[in-house]
Amino acid sequence: MTPLLLTHWVRQEIRELSAYETYDHEGFIKLDAMENPYPWPKLFQQALMEKLHSVAIHRYPDPEARTLKQRIRQVLEVPTDSHILLGNGSDELIQILLQAIAAPNRTVLAPEPGFSMYRIIARGLGLHYVGISLTDPFELDQEAMLQAIEEHQPAAIFLAYPNNPTGNLFDRKSILEILAKSSGVVVLDEAYFPFSGKTFLSELTRYPNLVILRTFSKIGLAGLRLGVLIGEKTFLKELNKIRLPYNINGLTQASADFMLSHQQVLTEQVGQICADRTWLTHQLNMLDNITVYPSEANFILIRPPQGSGERLFNRLKSAGILVKYFREASTVLQDCLRVTIGHPEENRAFLTALSAALSPSTDTG
């Protein structure tokens, strides 16, 4: 018997997906992925290594990561009656949540442009996915959102606050109205909370359908992979049943606990990044012909002249600078580039390369 190609067995909805796009960034100034540009100070690195010596690599880690959870509750100021679930990155928590609710004919709803993993994971699990376009520039289209909620009765709604890749905070009242009018779970993805200082944590007790997602990736622990879901106890208990045992590895548990016990290091770095965001926004605003969207996150979205996006992306790349270009984007993001705030030298290098690429004399180059 001729064997079928193995891809035959891969579900149709997965074959239709494209993989999450990443680049080989060797040697580049990396301003494409919202990482914290600052490494951990030398002195702390040594202390961390000391601590890691005591991790028993030959044993499974604590399946409930109790010590780390205690630390996180304290650091994030989680309300006492809310529960938390840890994930191998918040991406994993999105996956666990959607896996728990995935049933035929259920819908996941999110505004667009938004974080692409909501759609990728939902579609991969066979869920319907409905994206609702933001207004110009990038506020929730409340009428369309409410109508879609009415029509599809989504099992889950994702709202990134601030939104990625646009950088803004959606109107708070609109979000509260969505919470009130949804029977499904509403996920407030606060991945960029450290840079915005705005949260829905205090609304958890008022809205039992609200869950909040946080991550330590954007403030300097991207390599450890650690995300947190905060919400109502009985719901999180159900999700916990499908979390893979030991999803937070021993080195991550020990490192994150250590790093979060020296939170002032991270807080200082975040403060610096916010100051540099202000500086870079101001500098970009002085350039001709580009639109700069105000940001509450650690990145800035810019729109260069029509038709120039790909050329600018390539010019920056030749100058050794990697930013995010929305190649397959809908018209709303056409030409847009998203730049992560780097350290001051990196920001200056980006600015110099961008102004050179924008200047008319180099237009044909």
Beta-bridged to residue 188, according to DSSP, are 159, 212
222 vs 332 by CB, closer to ligand PLP: 222
- Note whether 187 and 165 are within 8 A (CB): no
Q: How far is the CB of 160 from ligand PLP (least distance, A)?
A: 4
Distances (CA, A) of 102 to 124, 158, 271, 293: 10, 15, 40, 35
34 vs 357 by CB, closer to ligand PLP: 34
- Note whether 197 and 244 are within 8 A (CB): no
Q: How far is the CB of 360 from ligand PLP (least distance, A)?
A: 35
Residues contacting 350, CB < 8 A, separation 6+: 29, 31, 280, 316, 321, 323, 339, 342
139 vs 311 by CB, closer to ligand PLP: 139
The edge-to-edge listing of strands for the beta sheet with 185-189 is 83-87, 227-231, 210-215, 185-189, 156-160, 107-112, 128-133
Q: How far is the CB of 261 from ligand PLP (least distance, A)?
A: 20
224 vs 351 by CB, closer to ligand PLP: 224
Compute φ and ψ for 78, nearest 5 degrees: -75, 130
Residues that bind ligand PLP (CB under 6 A): 34, 89-91, 115, 160, 164, 189, 191, 215, 217, 227
Q: How far is the CB of 330 from ligand PLP (least distance, A)?
A: 18
Q: How far is the CB of 215 from ligand PLP (least distance, A)?
A: 3
323 vs 353 by CB, closer to ligand PLP: 323
In the chain, what is the greatest distance between 2 CA atoms, to the nearest angstrom? 68
Distances (CA, A) of 169 to 160, 176, 188: 8, 13, 11
Pairing between β-strand 337-340 and β-strand 83-87 as defined by DSSP bridges = unpaired
Q: How far is the CB of 117 from ligand PLP (least distance, A)?
A: 7
Q: How far is the CB of 83 from ligand PLP (least distance, A)?
A: 19
61 vs 167 by CB, closer to ligand PLP: 167
What are the tokens at 344?
């001051």
Q: Is the backbone of residue 259 left (phi > 0), alpha (psi -120 to 50) or beta? A: alpha
117 vs 127 by CB, closer to ligand PLP: 117
By beta-carbon distance, which residue lies closest to ligand PLP? 89
228 vs 290 by CB, closer to ligand PLP: 228
Q: How far is the CB of 277 from ligand PLP (least distance, A)?
A: 15
- Is the CA virtual torsion 215, 217, 221, 223 positive or negative? positive
